[in-house]
Structure 1
């Protein structure tokens, strides 16, 4: 078993981060909105009725009913910081956050590559659009504005997401300057454009036949307008300014069809955006970092190769 995968098997199943060694400092958790969470939410969302209730954390580590968005900082391995940062967007259909499998686990792996990781706990269906978009763009702005403090390069801040988290990461990649992602805060003046993106079995389309109906309903409600469906079908929002992107999917995904990644890759290619796409034969949806799925289990190696080829794993002194 390779050292990275062995490390991941030792992580506990519950909680946002690995268990701390005796005397170790608690992880740094940053509130995204210390000045107050924006009120903008979908009119038919539960939060608009004032009955949100407490946040819920399941034994599996999944989180729901988020009302206080945060970033949990996972530092790079002590001997190999390279100045690259990744904001992680866990999946869960915009209903829950798969914070362990697609958050903590990925962060532990990225740490071994020298990357500083920020696990995003974003608002979900209880708020609806534009809350998740506001949260991910605020995350990019916050990390960029405090890059020196975190020891990262403000020009090497990427996003990575799985499933609905992939849609959120792709939304950041295409709607980074959209009015829906601005709140009037001073940080709005800081660029929210990610410098690269890694999308793992992502939701992309919000219209048939490729749409994941559950994610669309949780994010946009039962009767979204045609204009909103177009806006949030992010393959239709790709431009030459969209950052370089790696896409990973499986042909056997019956939940989020591989056509989502194919549509996005085609849009990136037409816009002249550097992109790579891996489609693996085996594995269904939500493969995370499991063994036994043929070549699909090796996707972290393909991702590492892509990051290295783009110069994102070279050590860099950050002023």
Structure 2
């Protein structure tokens, strides 16, 4: 049995991986979300592993394993094409794994297509600011706060890594004064470009609308927003991803390389889209071990 899996099982048996609390992200009231926002009617919908119709963003807190606390934190953005959140496979399971490594994990429930851009960006940047402003409360270091995301959640995490100072991501409250720059990023089969033929057009339409102006498409094509301040990044993708082509990760990696930002890119032969932490996908199923090595090499875990 792989070491990270064994650790997860042992910690689960002691309750160390349990979610401890859910924090309302916008204690002072949720921002209006911008010009495309419309009122989301009715309650949130939970369908198997998916959450949709989000109007009240939250952070679910998973404390680091008590005997392995590293002082590192990660805000996790589940995927779902900006239409829903794959909350269990790309949120809860990642959080349990990170907790077993000594990382305090925060699973973000963010606003979706009912709001559109910039609401998700506001939510993820506010989440980073909130965790950083309360680093002492959570036992984490303010300079060891990363972001992780899958698919469209990977686009949101990459947005945080590149647009952390963009005016559209501000919430209009006191936390805007706190830095929203993540200290590292982990991107799983991310949507990066909003331009054909690489773009996942479903994510583009859900986030930007059917008639997105060219300047907004350019802004949210994140390979074009990489700069020297973009944090160190790990990219994981599959060659046979038929939904979000691996070209997305390649474009981002090339931009990071041009900007001299430390980065690693892992492209596995098979794994398809949405591999999450499933077994039976060849070498792609070993990505958690490879990611653990990357975190350890960067001195983010022990």
Aligned to 1:243: 231
CA contact (8 A) 1:52 1:126 kept: no
* C-alpha distance in 1 between matches for 2:194 and 2:13: 38
* C-alpha distance in 2 between matches for 1:215 and 1:9: 35
Aligned to 1:101: 89
From 52, 55, 60, the equivalent of 2:41 is: 52
Change (3 A) 1:82 1:208: same
After TM superposition, the score normalised by the length of structure 1 is 0.90
Secondary structure of the structure 1 residue equivalent to 2:86: coil
* C-alpha distance in 2 between matches for 1:175 and 1:300: 27
From 208, 224, 227, the equivalent of 1:220 is: 208
After TM superposition, the score normalised by the length of structure 2 is 0.95
* C-alpha distance in 1 between matches for 2:148 and 2:292: 13
CA contact (8 A) 1:167 1:202 kept: yes
Aligned to 1:67: 55
Aligned to 2:147: 159
Number of residue-to-residue matches in the alignment? 301
Change (3 A) 1:8 1:224: farther
* C-alpha distance in 1 between matches for 2:266 and 2:192: 16
Aligned to 1:264: 252
**How much does 1:173 deviate?**
0.2
Aligned to 2:120: 132
Aligned to 2:80: 92
From 164, 173, 178, the equivalent of 2:161 is: 173
**How much does 1:52 deviate?**
2.4
Aligned to 1:34: 27
CA contact (8 A) 2:8 2:100 kept: no
* C-alpha distance in 1 between matches for 2:287 and 2:295: 12
Alignment of 1:298-313 (within 5 A): 298-313=286-301
* C-alpha distance in 1 between matches for 2:124 and 2:296: 25
Structure 1 residues not aligned, in runs of 5+ = 12-17, 315-319
CA contact (8 A) 1:8 1:105 kept: no
Aligned to 1:287: 275
Change (3 A) 1:247 1:209: same
Structure 2 residues not aligned, in runs of 5+ = none
